[in-house]
Amino acid sequence: MLQQRAKLRWMKEEDQCSRIFFRKINARRASQRIYQIQNAERNLLTDFNLVVNEFVEYFSRLFGGTRREGFISLDFLQQYTKHLITEEDVALISTPVMRNEVRDANFDIDEDSAPGPDGFSSGFFKAAWPIVGEDVTKAILEFFQNGWIVRQVNTTLITLIPKVNIPSKVTDFRPISCCNVIYKAITKIMVKRMQAVLEKLIDTTQNVFVPGRSISDNILLAQELLSGYKQKRLPPRCTIKVDLQKAYDSVEWNYLMVVLRLFKFPLPFINLVDQCISTASCSISLNSGIHGFFPSTRGLRQDDPISPYMFVLVMESFHLLLKWKINNEGSFKFH
């Protein structure tokens, strides 16, 4: 009976500034705190400083290290591409950014999205736009004019989300990168220009993050393709199942630049993308505190509006490499 009354009261009051609300918040925070962790040698670490060091070292290795150099050209794949950037597309992508675009990009960010390391949410910028709007607009327009971003704007807060009910290792946590609002507004403007040409670049076999397409189409298509694989009268065929472990985190930046050049993106736009991803630095949010500070040298951030579109271009290059390999050396046909 008491439990039912508590549930009814919570449903009635929800997020009002009441005693039960703050009790609920405190209880949730306590349950999400990390007091111990198991390291790679299976030793249990209970000292908080050692726990922090374990997380910082792991993610600094995952996102940091030395940026790889010397990726080969992928121009030999251009004959297999669906579309390459034309002069008309270049003119569209290179259109000067207008002041109203800056405001629209800021106001398009969800107010409930987590703030970055600076602590300012999208709701703050919307409410204070008459005061801060002019400075924010000038800062963003200066980036597009000069192609240089202030590193403090591009700092990232890594929030840890448990993958399992009782996480015991660092790998049991999923890192979610929280970017600053000003940075997200910058990449939202870039995304708007990419969306106009992305559908022409990406093959119809890819349906994720492409406007007007749905991933469910590929699920149905895969079922149709595999339904007749057991028939003996059909020619030899095979299916490759690729497990993309830490897919976003493992994207090499130099390879991404090669992919953008493959599709003939204009050099100024490529330089803007490189500036956005290569100046990132990270800290880890752990038990209501911010720990560590290290530069990032690889990977794409989940909270970055441009990341899904960069990733789908990388996957399109993988699709083209498979097509090239099969057409030149394979004994199987490509679906």
- pLDDT, average across residues 48-57: 91
Q: Which pTM was predicted?
A: 0.81
pLDDT of residue 139: 94
User: Which of 176, 199, 311, 295 lies closest to 255 in space, CA to CA?
Assistant: 311
- pLDDT, average across residues 10-27: 55
| pLDDT tens, residue by residue, 278-318 | 899 999 998 888 998 988 888 888 889 999 999 999 988 88
pLDDT of residue 330: 61
**% of the chain beyond a pLDDT of 90:** 35
pLDDT of residue 14: 55
Distances (CA, A) of 177 to 79, 293, 300, 301, 313: 37, 13, 9, 6, 21
Mean pLDDT is highest, among 109-113, 189-193, 230-234, for: 189-193
Domain ranges of the chain: 49-226+237-329
pLDDT of residue 65: 66
Residue 63 has pLDDT above 70, yes or no: yes
104 by DSSP, 3-state: which? helix
Residue 201 has pLDDT above 70, yes or no: yes
Residue 276 has pLDDT above 50, yes or no: yes
Confidence of residue 30 (pLDDT cuts 50, 70, 90): very low
Which ranges constitute the DSSP H helices of 33-86?
A: 48-63
Residue 25 has pLDDT above 60, yes or no: no
Least confident of 138-142, 152-156, 161-165, 274-278: 161-165
- pLDDT, average across residues 230-236: 73
Under 8 Å between Cβ of 64 and 297: yes
pLDDT of residue 235: 73
- pLDDT, average across residues 229-246: 73
Q: How far apart are CA 325 and CA 329, in angstroms?
A: 6
Confidence of residue 27 (pLDDT cuts 50, 70, 90): very low
pLDDT of residue 180: 94
Least confident of 62-76, 128-142, 146-160, 283-297: 62-76
Q: How far apart are CA 178 and CA 293, in angstroms?
A: 14
Residue 173 has pLDDT above 50, yes or no: yes
- pLDDT, average across residues 189-197: 91
Residue 31 in tokens: 């349950």
**Cβ neighbours of 266 (radius 10 Å):** 16
E-assigned strand segments in the chain? 37-38, 44-45, 155-162, 173-179, 281-286, 289-295
Residue 43 has pLDDT above 70, yes or no: yes
User: Which of 134, 139, 137 lies closest to 105 in space, CA to CA?
Assistant: 137
- pLDDT, average across residues 21-41: 66
pLDDT of residue 185: 96
